[in-house]
């Protein structure tokens, strides 16, 4: 969720008084970090994942599944090992937006050794187990991005009724009591977004039209309460109306963070991973049901964008620009707006709205125009939360004002400077992935992403396409069954002049594009992942990379199973979670073919997912038998690796003598 500062939050009227002050001092803080650490080199390559779990209660007698509001109870217990022995934790835990969510990460980052890939699934499994042990009878930890009936009446336990006239979000569907209560940031964000925007957030998600879906589909929203007419003016026919930050930020995701060796490498990784964000979004799709209805989307992304959209009517272009500084094309939760490395600048084909004063300040202090553009673009936004104890800071010792704005630009990639006085390096965060129902699938996605970054850096590959095409791909990725029905802009030739001629890469080397020749074309996900006559395929590049490194047998076995899952899903041999959920609902005997996912259908779906995630039941439509050799104990493999390294050093010393 980003920066979690403790203190007393200000309301919006007070917060906006400090908006310019925080922008100015946020830039001073960034400049201090940059000047101090821009020449830092040779940080170890580290990486780690972040999983956000749901907690669900099953009422087997009444066939009802509800979200359990217990994060405030169990997080202190989950965090005890970190408080008692912070240097020796296998897992770390943090709060998230809703009281039914818990966020877990590995206790320490993974490193450069291939054997670390064999730990990922085991650590995810441990996190699930730790959460599960603290839940009560008929309560379970689940991993999926969106609870199918989030926002329906009585969707939580304990049950609460929305109060649109007095709540932070003014929502018809999402009560304030569902927001995590033990940190003031979450409720303050909710209220301040609405107050800055001068209206409720709103999104209309197209409903899936089935045989008996009413046409036109029009909900009677008056039954949910009185929100001053906001819903009646915003809702449209044949769509499901959403109106609360919690319906977006209450979704779970899978994220991966990389520490690069330098700022230049971090910027390179940020850019090269950006074209992959829609591809992974489509591969990981798991959100076809919203507020109890089947829809025409499979992913959470646009819902999140809309549910935290703090832009005013002027900034959205609905009214002439009078009181605001900019017209802003996107929400602060969005896909990446620009590449940030100088070599990538030619692919920034969309206008980037930026604060000219910030840009000037950065460039006159030695920051190149491409990175300055990125930061100046982030800083067109106002801060959304200010804590009265954290206003006047030492800009050489604190980064709260910079992170306040950087961490609330929720883009598909995030560039993360090192914290002050820390041994942590320059990092990038890969943010689009939907959360899968099993640890095996989540580990497979993480492993695929990390291996691809290794191959990109090792082979000096180039995945860049115009940023406008990335935006187009992000929209295509969210459509129903996008994996099988959509095509995506992707670069035709990934090799560069620095790419070595390995057997795999040499076989697909192509003459460098002629002037005015398009460097990319439309491809299916299957082509992008598995290759075709005209394209190498990302999996072949990864396999080529793996064949050129030393890797123990168990880890290679695990990786091969993960890559097999990715390959079969991309080809359509295995379903995405979203496609399988639709299939389950539409073949359920209680489903009336009217687009409604009833309590009974949702209960059976989630109970089935619980059994699958625990390994009690198989799901051959989605994944093969999960039999990886994942383990938390890699000491033997590390010892072997160290011994081999010592032998190599000894041989080198002998040759030098």
CA dihedral sign, ordered 550, 553, 558, 560 = positive
Looking at residue 653, its pLDDT comes to 59
- Write down the pLDDT at residue 625: 78
Mind listing the pLDDT tens digit for each residue in 426-446?
999 999 999 999 999 999 999
Mean pLDDT, residues 152-177: 97
DSSP line for 322-353: SSSS---SS-SEES-----SGGGGGG--S---
The residue to which tokens 């109870």 are assigned: 73
H-type alpha helices, 198-239: 230-234
User: In this prediction, what percent of the chain has a pLDDT beyond 90?
Assistant: 88
For 502-555, the pLDDT digits (tens) are 767 665 555 555 556 789 999 999 999 999 999 999 999 999 999 999 999 999
pLDDT of residue 91: 98
pLDDT of residue 144: 98
Phi, psi of 9 (to 5 degrees): -80, 145
Average pLDDT over residues 54-58: 98
Answer whether 30's CB lies under 8 Å from 375's CB: yes
Q: Average the pLDDT over each of 104-113, 140-149, 226-235 and give the range with the smallest value.
A: 226-235
Check residue 645 and give its pLDDT: 54
For residue 124, pLDDT over 80 is answered with: yes
Give the residue carrying structure tokens 């989540």. Answer: 442
In order of start, what are the domains of the chain with their CATH numbers? 9-39+305-410 (no CATH), 44-150+250-299+434-498+518-629 (3.30.590.20), 165-171+184-249 (no CATH)
The pLDDT-based confidence of 317 (bands split at 50, 70, 90) is very high
Tokens of 388: 């009265």
Of 6, 403, 382, 409, nearest to 185 by C-alpha is 6
Tell me the sheet residues that pair with 88.
none
Beta strands 64-68 and 156-157 are parallel
Helix (H, G, I), strand (E, B) or coil at 167: coil
3-state secondary structure 611-650: HHHHCCCCCCCCCCCCCCCCCCCCHHHHHHHHHHHHHHHH
CA 610, CA 140: separation in Å to the nearest integer? 8
How confident is the model over 474-499, as a mean pLDDT?
96
pLDDT digits (tens, 9 = 90+) for 370-407: 999 999 999 999 999 999 999 999 999 999 999 999 99
> CB 454: neighbour CB atoms within 10 A?
17
Residue 584 phi/psi, 5-degree rounding, is -60, -50
Provide the pLDDT for residue 627: 76
pLDDT on residue 655: 59
Backbone angles phi and psi of 413, in degrees to 5:
-130, 150
Give the tens place of pLDDT for each residue, 11-22.
999 999 999 999
- The pLDDT of residue 114 is above 80: yes
Q: Is the pLDDT of residue 163 over 80?
A: yes
Confidence of residue 597 (pLDDT cuts 50, 70, 90): very high
The DSSP element (H or E) to which 294 belongs, if any, is: strand 293-294
Mean pLDDT taken over the chain: 94
C-alpha 99/C-alpha 158 separation (Å) is 11
Residue 56's φ and ψ, nearest 5 degrees, are -125, 140
């Amino acid at each position: 969720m980003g920066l979690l500062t403790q203190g007393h939050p200000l309301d919006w009227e007070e917060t906006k008084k400090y908006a310019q002050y925080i922008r100015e001092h946020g830039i001073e803080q960034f400049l201090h970090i940059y000047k101090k650490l821009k020449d830092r080199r040779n940080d170890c390559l580290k990486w780690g994942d972040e999983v956000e779990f749901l907690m669900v209660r099953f009422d087997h007698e009444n066939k009802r599944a509800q979200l359990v509001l217990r994060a405030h109870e169990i997080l202190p217990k989950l965090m005890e090992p970190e408080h008692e022995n912070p240097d020796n934790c296998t897992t770390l835990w943090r709060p998230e937006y809703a009281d039914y969510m818990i966020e877990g990460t590995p206790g320490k980052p993974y490193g450069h050794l291939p054997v670390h890939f064999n730990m990922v699934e085991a650590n995810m499994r441990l996190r699930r187990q730790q959460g599960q042990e603290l839940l009560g009878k008929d309560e379970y930890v689940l991993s999926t991005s969106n609870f199918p009936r989030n926002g329906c009446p009585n969707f939580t336990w304990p049950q609460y009724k929305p109060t649109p006239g007095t709540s932070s979000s003014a929502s018809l569907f999402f009560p304030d009591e569902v927001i995590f209560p033990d940190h003031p940031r979450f409720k303050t964000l909710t209220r301040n977004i609405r107050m800055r925007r001068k209206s409720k957030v709103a999104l209309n998600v197209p409903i899936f039209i089935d045989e008996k879906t009413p046409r036109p589909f029009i909900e009677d929203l008056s039954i949910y309460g009185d929100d001053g007419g906001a819903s009646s003016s915003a809702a449209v026919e044949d769509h499901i109306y959403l109106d609360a930050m919690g319906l977006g930020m209450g979704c779970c995701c899978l994220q991966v963070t990389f520490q690069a060796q330098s700022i230049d490498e971090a910027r390179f990784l940020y850019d090269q991973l950006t074209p992959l964000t829609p591809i992974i979004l489509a591969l990981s799709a798991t959100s076809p049901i919203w507020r109890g209805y089947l829809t025409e989307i499979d992913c959470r992304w646009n819902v999140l964008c809309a549910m935290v959209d703090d832009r005013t009517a002027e900034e959205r272009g609905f009214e002439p620009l009078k009181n605001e500084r900019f017209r802003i094309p996107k929400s602060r939760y969005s896909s990446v707006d620009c590449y940030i490395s100088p070599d990538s600048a030619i692919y920034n084909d969309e206008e980037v709205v930026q604060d000219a004063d910030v840009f000037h300040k950065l460039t006159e202090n030695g920051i190149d125009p491409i990175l300055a553009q990125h930061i100046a673009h982030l800083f067109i936004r106002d801060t959304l939360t200010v804590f009265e104890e954290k206003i006047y800071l030492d800009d050489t010792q604190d980064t709260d004002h910079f992170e306040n704005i950087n961490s609330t630009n929720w883009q598909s990639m995030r560039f993360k400077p090192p914290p002050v006085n820390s041994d942590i390096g320059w990092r990038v965060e890969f943010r689009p992935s939907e959360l899968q129902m099993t640890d095996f699938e989540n580990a497979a996605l993480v492993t695929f992403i990390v291996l691809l970054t290794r191959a990109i850096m090792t082979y000096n590959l180039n995945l860049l396409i115009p940023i406008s095409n990335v935006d187009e791909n992000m929209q295509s990725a969210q459509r129903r069954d996008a994996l099988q029905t959509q095509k995506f802009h992707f670069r035709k030739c990934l090799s560069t002049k620095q790419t070595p001629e390995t057997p795999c890469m040499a076989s697909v080397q192509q003459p460098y594009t002629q002037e005015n020749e398009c460097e990319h074309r439309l491809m299916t996900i299957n082509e992008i992942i598995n290759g075709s006559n005209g394209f190498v395929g990302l999996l072949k590049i990864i396999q080529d990379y793996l064949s050129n490194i030393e890797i123990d047998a168990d880890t290679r076995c695990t990786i091969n199973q993960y890559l097999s899952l990715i390959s079969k899903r991309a080809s359509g041999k295995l379903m995405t979670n979203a496609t399988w959920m639709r299939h389950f609902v539409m073949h359920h005997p209680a489903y009336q073919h009217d687009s409604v996912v009833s309590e009974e259908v949702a209960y059976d779906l989630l109970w089935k997912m619980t059994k699958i995630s625990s390994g009690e039941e198989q799901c051959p439509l989605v994944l093969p038998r999960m039999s990886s050799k994942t383990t938390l104990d890699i000491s033997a493999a590390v010892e072997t690796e160290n011994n081999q390294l010592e032998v190599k050093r000894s041989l080198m010393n002998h040759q030098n003598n």
